Each structure stands twice: as C-alpha cells, then as structure tokens.
Structure 1
Amino acid sequence: MTGQASILVNEDNRLSREQQLWRIKILVSTYFGYAGFYLVRKVFTICKSTLAAPVEEGGYGMGFEAVANIWTAYLIAYMLGMFISSFIGRKWGPRILLLGGLGLSMACNIVFGFANSYATFLVFMFFNGLVQSAGWPGTVGAVSEWLRKKERGTIMGFWSTNYVVGNIVVKNLGGFLLATCSIKYGSYMGVRYSFLGCTLLAFAIWWLLFFWQRNKPQDVGLDPIVDLNRDTDRSVKASVAERVTFRQYLDLLLNPVVPLMGCCYFCVKFLRYALDSWLPTFLDLQGMDVGRAAYYSAIFDYAGLAGAIVAGVVLDRFFKGRWERVCLFMSLGTVAGYLAVARFGANPYALAFTYGLVGFMLYGPDTLLCGAGSVIVAGERNAVAVAGIVNGMGSIGPIVQEQVIGRIMGGRVPGEAVQLANSLSLSISVFFVVFMGIIAWQVSRIRRTQNENAGGF
C-alpha cells in the first residue's frame, strides 16, 4: 500500500490555522471550478435557436434536428466519459481531472466560437462531452480528503449548489453577450462572442484551481485531516492507496452497492431532467400561459435547492452519516410528491407546487448519491471513482427521458400526454424506492457483520 493511508488521525482534534485556510481555498476553488465547467458546457443550449435558424435570417442554417443530434452526441459522450474519468481520477488524482478536463473543454469552446459547420460542432461536442465528464468526479474527489465525517454532509449540502451558480452565470453572461452582440454585429457574431466570452471567464477560473486546489493536505506540507483507516462507515471494501491498478478499480466497479447506487441515480436523473426539460410545457398544456409556466416551473428548482441543503444537514445531525437512510426516506417522499401530482393534476397552480415537493425530495438524494454518499461508501480516496461510476450510470437517464417523453408528448391530446408522462415518472420513482430499499438493507447487513466481527475481536 502506498501513500499516507497508514497515518493515524484523530478527527476530534481541532484543525490548525493553516489547515483551515487551505480548506477554505479548496472549497472556494472547487465550488467555482465546477461552475466554470458549466461556462464551457451550457453556452450551446442558449444558442440553439440561432444555430438552427436559416442563414437568410442570420442563423447557421443547421435546423433543429441537427442541433438536437449535436446535443445528443454530447450527452452520450458525457455518460461514457464518466467511467473513463472515474478510473483516471482514482489512478492519477482529481487535480489531473479538473485542470485537464476544464482546459480541454475551453479548447473545444474556442473551436465552437469560430466553427460554421454541423460536422465541426458534432465532432467537437462529442469530445467536449468526454472531457466535461471530468468535472463532477474531480470536484468530489478534490474535497473528500479535506472534510471530516461529522461535517461532511452539511458542508457538501451547501457546496453542491455550485452547478446552480454555474447555470445562472452562463445564462446571464452568455445570454447578455448573445443578445448584445447579435444586435450590434448580427446573430452570427452573437454566438461567437457568447462562446468566447464565457470561455475567457472559465480561463480565469482555471487559474484559481491551479493555485488553490490540492488533492490532500499532505500536498502542501500539512498533516492529514481525515482518518483514511476508519472503515466502520464503509459498505464497500476498496484499496485506500494513492494509486490503484485497473483490477482494483474493477473490484470497486463490480461491488453490488456501487452499481445499485448507479441505478438509483439513473432514476434521479431521469426524473430531474424530465422536469428540467418538460415542466414549463406540462404547465402550459394544463392551461397556464407560457410566461407564468416558465415562472412557476422554477418552484421545482428552488425547492430542490432547499432539499439538497436540508439533506446534508440532517445527514450530519440526525442520521450520523447514514446516507442510505436519508435517500430512502426522500425517495418515499418523491413517490408521495408524484401521487400529489396525480391528485392535483387538473389545477396548473396546485400542480406547480406539488412539483415543488418532488423537487425538494429529489435533489437531496441527487446530491448525496454523487456527493457525500460517494465519499462515505468506499472512503475518501475512492470518492472520485465512485462519483464517476454512479454519475456515469445515472447519465443514461437524461438520454432516455428525452426520447421517451418526447414520443409520449407527440401525437396525443395534451391532457392525456401530460397524464401519461406523470404516470411514467411515478413508476420510475417507485423503482427508485425499490433500489434504495435494497441498498439500505445491504448496507445494514454489512454494518451488522462489521459490528459482530469487531465485538468478537
């Protein structure tokens, strides 16, 4: 075994001033670091209409079908890249993922800023999806050895809002550049400035990561903060060495708990992305005007943010790190939310608030499964690998939901289509409960065995 895994650490000891200072740097740099990934991920989505518009109207002339194909290529590459990133991050560390992934993604967006053809966008968007997948496992791995057990859930609950900040910034900055430059220089140049302007800000964030991010305290000459030898909370036995072989990585990948977490995350991302993509449309088809539908659909997101923070706090204060119990409880709440949707579906305003309940219950497991839960289940050193595997399996969900719900919505009476889509989501939420129930049973069984062995020893 290599690295510092053999050092004994008392997590009840106070952190030194230097440890506290560096931990602040780590949390700030990774928070904005993941937001930076959004700056070179989401510009395409706000430029879709210009890319699809005919050339004579100032667009790129691609058409909406071609634009949809480009984004589908991104989603597929992102899913595949998660498995690659999980191995690279576990083998060479999260710093390589963050700096390399963000740097290569910036290069792709520079190409987008000067590209004109469908083929160029398609090829480089696929490559962008591969390198974008380094973002989340890299950031989770980057904070895992800087947060102790008793505080991990609370801090990561707030820290996990980084993607919301990224979304807000790219929509505001990219949208401003797109609108302003389109008026001044034409739509064609608006797209270029939007891509290049957001890339410039991401470049500044890359330097923040370069100077402020380190994988562990020992990298800056400090004593370790977490006890890597503590395995009483771990449901998955895996190497805590700094470097692992591919065989050791496969042992982690094939442990039953990790793929089950991936199945749960498939359900979570299916449901979350379904509402991200379709909720304004659902409300509009139920009788709410388009403007109000967009406004009320945000209830889902705001309630979800609250749910993510609450889940982290209760994980530390009441569930003592038992992430699987928090997720099981909130999965049951998700089913209750969809039952409320079915009950009040005829009223668009009541429907918006019941979707808020779904958001509150859904975002908690979303952040735990790929955040604190990924750290707890196999230890700090394996967090980057677990987060990548779980997110990789989960990322199949957005691809499936877009196609399935799109087919449901086409060729049906609006009310019937919305009802059928909600019934599908209710079924997925039930599967979510089943998978979480299996995980909770499995983890409880493993912990009971560990306690019996410890008592016998």
Structure 2
Amino acid sequence: MANSVPLGIQMLPQQRCINRDSAYRLFILLFTFICYMSYHLSRKPISVVKSELHRNCSGEKQPGSGSSGANTTDNWCDWSPFENANYKQLLGSLDLAYLFAYAVGMFISGQVAERMNLRYFLSLGMILSGVFTAAFGMGYFLSIHVLWYYILIQVIAGLFQSSGWPAVVACVGNWYGKGKRGFIMGVWNSHTSVGNILGSVIAGIWVGNAWGWSFVVPGFIIIGFGILVFLFLVPEPKDVGCTPPEHHQANTEDSFSTQGDNYSQKQSTNLNPDSDSEASSSNLPLIPKGEEKAISFYSALLIPGVIEFSLCLFFAKLVSYTFLFWLPNYINDNTDYDPEVSADLSTLFDVGGIAGGIAAGVFSDYTGARAVPCALMLALAAPALYVYNLYGSLNYANCVGLLLAAGFFVNGPYSLITTAVSADLGTHRSLKGNSRALATVTAIIDGTGSIGAAVGPLLTGVISPYGWEKVFYMLIAADMIALLLLTRLFIKEIKTAVCCRRPHYNV
C-alpha cells in the first residue's frame, strides 16, 4: 500500500486525534474541486478574447504603421486572420476544433482512466492542458497570424482537457456513497462556474492590451495544480487504508422482495435510474460481486438511463457551452460595455449556475428523483432565455437579474446530470459493487454532452450574423428537445411517487 500513497501524503504529519475517513473525504472533495476549477479557468479565456480579435475600429485613431494584420483603415485594430467579414465563422471554427476534440477525447479518456492510476492520468492531463493553453497565448507574443496554428492548438488542448472530468468524478465517486450525493456533488460541481468566473476575471485583466497573457497565466495555473495532483491526490480509500463508502443501500432495495408486495418493490426501485428494475431484465452483463474489472463501452451503454441522460446532456450542454464561449461577445455586441466589462458581466451566468446546481442536487436528494428536477428546470429555462434576449440589454439591472435567472435554470440540469446522475449510473447495482465503471459511464454521458457543446458554438458562429435573436431561438429549441428526452423517466418517477405515496425516498 505504501507504493500507492503519493509522496506529498507520505510527508504529511500523522494526526491520530482526527477521523481519517472524514478528513480524507473532505480533502478529496476540496482538492478535486480546485483541480477541475483550474480546467475551466484555462478554457474560459477564448470567450473573453474573441471580442478583441475582431473589434469595431471605427472612431479609434490608427497608428502610423506597424499594425499587425491591418489591411484597411476599417480593421487595423483586429488580429489577423480574424479581421475579415467572416470572423464569426472563423471564431466558431476555433470552438468547433476544441470541443469536437474534447468530445472524442472524452470517450477515450474514460476507458484509459479505468485502466491506469488516476493520479498519474489526471496529473499528466492537467500539465499538458496547461502547456497548450499557454501555447495559444504565445501566438500573440510571436505574432502568429495563420489560422491553422490556432486550430491545431485548440485540437490538442481539447484532447488533453478531456482527461479531467472522468478522473475527478471517479475520484469523488470512489470516496462518497449515495446518501447525500446530489447535494454534495451539486455544491462540488460549482467548480465549473467558479473556474469560469476566475477565468473571465483573469483573462479580462489583459484582454485590452496584451491578450496573450489571458492564456499564458491560466496555463501556468493549471500546470501548477497538475504538479500538486501528482504529489497529493489519493484516488481510492484503500490506497491509504480508509473505509470504502456504501454505494447501495441493500436494505431498501432487497427487503421488498421478502415482503410479498412485488408491485411496491418494483415501483420503489424504479424511482431512481440507479435502482432501475430494468436492470434485472436487461441484457447488461452483470459483474460477479467483488470482481474489480473495468467494463466495456457497450456494457456501460446498457445500464438503464445512460442513453437517455446522455442524449439529454447533448442538448443541455449545447445551450450551456454556447453561453460559455459566446456570452461576453454577445454582451459586447448588444450593449455599450467594453470587452472587460462584458467579461465581468458574463460571470453572472455562472453565479446563477452555482445556485441552480445546488438547488437541483438538494431537490433530487429529498425526492430520490433525478429526472424530475432536471425536467422542471429545463421547462423553466426556455422562458428565461427568451426573456433575457428581449430585455437583458435594456439596462444594467436587467442584465444582472436575467443572467442570474438564465444561469440558474440552464446549468442546474447540466450540473446534476454530469455529477450525481453519472455517479449513480457508474455505481449501478447491476455492477455488483464493481467501482471500475465510474470513469467509463461518466465519459459516455459527458462525451455525448460535449458533442452538443461543440455543435452549439459552431451553430452560433453561423447563425449570429443573421441576428442574435435567431441564436436564442436555436437555444430554446435545444432546451425543449432535452426536456422531451427525459419524458419517460420523468413520467416513471412521478407515477412512482404517486403510487407509493412516499414523501421522501432514500437514494
């Protein structure tokens, strides 16, 4: 066991007066929070810098000479090759390159993460992500004006960034059982929004003068945390002699079968996808109890609920990532605020997202349902998006309030699906306690969502020249499709609640 203990942990003084299990669980939660926060911190700058790569040069005094990428007096302040009229399509191609590479990498990362030490995997992924984040910013200092360079950097960065999510969810899932998973992971998942906020603030510091630092500084931050992961991350309780968590509550799942009330037993296990009775009749290859073995991609797809939640996340993440990559640019285009203020205002969407993720987690823990809170928030997200597009640019107060509301309803379902739902399905009871499925299931769900995350910004780059209102119609349509994909699970959970008349369901 000593060989699996990180060097940094070995050097820490031993404290005998504390509960080791609780201390390690809290440490893992905080440490993985910071790790994934740094991932989002390093991927946010591109949305902030877009408004600087192509600016409105009218009214600005043109320098006498030496303007990089300046072909006419109308675009002397732009950064070539983004100075032409098709700049939105070019900026969209950067998002597409990154997000499709991220999606492809996600499906691969899940399989790799299950088969190697998560500490090595996450550390290497963070360091290389930082290197290529900084490399994008070096294009400014080296005066690189060819599109292929920036697209290539985005592709490589996307592949390495995909290492983060399967690894951190697997680590948290290894340490935390089902009990309050929705609330715990709802709070924990705020790392996404915190990272976006910090990324916007850090990138905004330099966006108006030397935008290269907007990438270089976040790149070095994630490299630093990657080194700390190698020194301190403990992926599993057994590595340090701690007690593994209970992923299932056998007394609530199995006791019904001995009471003669088969209908109640079937309905109660149907409430949550993790305890879906379809598992007993599905073709999912069951893993012998106690056998720690990484499952195949196909076996993970057969876990009930994986496909539906994956497709739902495709459309939910399409909406969320369109805001992530285009919101500062939208605010800058539709208001009188400069790029730095627009970047700061865009963080309010993520502030609302933090509250939405926590609210969704608390609601799902209390009811035992996962699809119901997702469906309700998706239903409310559509009018929130419509109202923000109509009135968000009228004044500062409207912008603040409506951005908070939009972030709350858009990011709530996204947060719940990528955390608690993924962890539930990755420890599904049909796996017989095998913990080697978490990263694979998480990668399938988030990888499918990441394809949607690539499509959204791409469509935005194509549609936005015809009017931002058409972009919002596209986002509302995607939101409604995500809602429809959860219809079966939503109806099943409602029927279960009504039939069983249980005010509170254990998860």
Normalising by the residue count of structure 1, what TM-score does the alignment of the two structures yield? 0.77
Match of 2:319 in 1: 271
Q: Distance in 2 between matches of 1:178 and 1:344?
A: 27
Q: CA, structure 1 residues 196+255, in 2 after alignment: closer, same or farther (shift >3 Å)?
A: same
Moved more, 402-411 or 302-311: 402-411
Q: How big is the shift at 1:75?
A: 1.5
Aligned partners of 1:173 and 1:164: how far apart in 2?
A: 14
Equivalent in the alignment of 2:127: 103
Residue matched to 2:184: 155
Shift of 1:145: 1.8
Q: How far apart in 2 are the matches of 1:294 and 1:107?
A: 24
Counterpart contact for 2:126–2:225, Cα < 8 Å? no
Relative to structure 1, the CA distance from residue 114 to residue 363 in structure 2 (aligned partners, 3 Å threshold; closer, same or farther) is closer
Question: Hey, what's the Cα distance between the residues in 2 that align with 1:268 and 1:442?
Answer: 21
How many residue pairs get aligned? The number is: 414
Corresponding residue for 2:81? Answer: 62
Matched, 1:334 2:353: no
Q: Distance in 2 between matches of 1:314 and 1:70?
A: 37
- Partner of 2:486: helix, strand, or coil? helix
Shift of the 341–55 alpha-carbon distance from structure 1 to 2, 3 Å rule, reads: closer
- Matched residue SS, 1:215: coil
Judge which range, 380-389 or 131-140, deviates more. 380-389
User: In structure 1, what is the Cα distance between the partners aligned to 2:78 and 2:297?
Assistant: 47
Counterpart CA distance in 1 for 2:330 and 2:47 is: 20
**RMSD after superposition:** 3.7
What is the CA deviation profile of residues 335-357 of structure 1, one whole-angstrom value per residue up to 9, with x for unaligned ones? 45356568878967668645543
CA distance in 2, matches of 1:20, 1:362: 33
Tell me what 2:103 maps to: 79
Structure 2 partner of 1:201: 221
2:27 to 25, 28, 34: 25
Indicate how the Cα distance of structure 1 residues 41 and 294 shifts in structure 2: closer, same or farther if over 3 A, else same. Answer: closer
Would you say the 8 A contact 2:318–2:456 is kept in 1?
A: yes
**Percent identity for Structure 1 against Structure 2:** 26
Q: For residues 102 and 42 of structure 1, what CA distance do their matches in structure 2 show? A: 15
| SS at structure 1 position matched to 2:472 | helix
- In structure 2, relative to structure 1, the CA distance for the partners of 1:31 and 1:439 (3 Å cut) is same
In the alignment, the residues of structure 2 paired with residue 242 and residue 40 of structure 1 have an alpha-carbon distance, to the nearest angstrom, of 34
Partner of 1:384: 439
The one of 146, 149, 159 equivalent to 1:130 is 159
Q: Distance in 1 between matches of 2:69 and 2:488?
A: 54
**Residues 307 and 283 of structure 1: CA distance in aligned 2, closer, same or farther (over 3 Å):** same
Look up the match of 1:91.
115
Structure number having the greater helix percentage:
1
Deviation for aligned residue 1:326: 1.8
Give the CA deviation at 1:267: 1.5
Show CA shifts across 1:140-192 (max 9, x none): 1110121232221111111111122222333344444666xx5xxxx4xx62x
CA contact (8 A) 1:75 1:399 kept: yes
Mark the CA change 1:43 to 1:406 in structure 2 (over 3 Å): closer, same or farther.
closer
Q: Secondary structure at the match of 1:150?
A: coil
In the alignment, which residue of structure 1 is the partner of 2:484? 434
Q: 2:475 aligns to what? A: 425
**Superposed displacement of residue 438, structure 1:** 2.2
Q: After TM superposition, give the deviation of residue 48 of structure 1 in Å.
A: 4.9
Amino acid of the residue matched to residue 153 of structure 2? F
Aligned residue among 361, 369, 372 for 2:420: 372
- Tell me, yes or no, if the aligned pair for 1:54 and 1:60 is still in contact at 8 Å: yes
1:34–1:162 CA contact under 8 A, matched in 2: yes
Q: Distance in 2 between the 1:151 and 1:370 partners?
A: 16
Equivalent positions of 1:345-364 (< 5 A) are: 353-354=401-402, 356-364=404-412
Cα distance change on mapping 1:441 and 1:73 into 2, 3 Å:
same
CA distance in 2, matches of 1:338, 1:194: 29
Checking the alignment, whether the CA contact within 8 Å between 2:95 and 2:454 is kept in structure 1 is no
Of 66-75 and 208-217, deviating more is 66-75
Q: 2:36, 2:98 → 1: CA distance?
A: 18
What's 1:36 paired with? Answer: 38
Partner SS for 1:328 = helix
| 1:165 counterpart residue number | 194
Structure 1 residue ranges without an equivalent (≥5):
1-15, 449-457
| Unaligned ranges ≥5, structure 2 | 1-17, 55-66, 71-75, 254-268, 428-434, 499-507
1:6 corresponds in structure 2 to none
* Cα pair distance change 1:282/1:164, threshold 3 Å: closer
The normalised TM-score by structure 2 is 0.70
Matched residues in 1 for 2:134 and 2:323: separation? 31
Asked if structure 2 preserves the Cα contact closer than 8 Å seen for 1:269 and 1:398, the reply is yes
Distance between the aligned counterparts of 1:315 and 1:439, measured in 2? 14
Partner of 1:215: 235
Give secondary structure in 2 for the equivalent of 1:171.
helix
Q: What CA deviation, in whole Å up to 9, does each residue of 1:404-443 have, x standing for no partner?
A: 33443324xx5xx51x433333322221221111233567
Compared CA separation, residues 253 and 97, structure 1 to 2 (3 A): farther
Query: Relative to structure 1, is the Cα distance of residues 88 and 36 closer, same or farther in structure 2, using a 3 angstrom cutoff?
Result: same
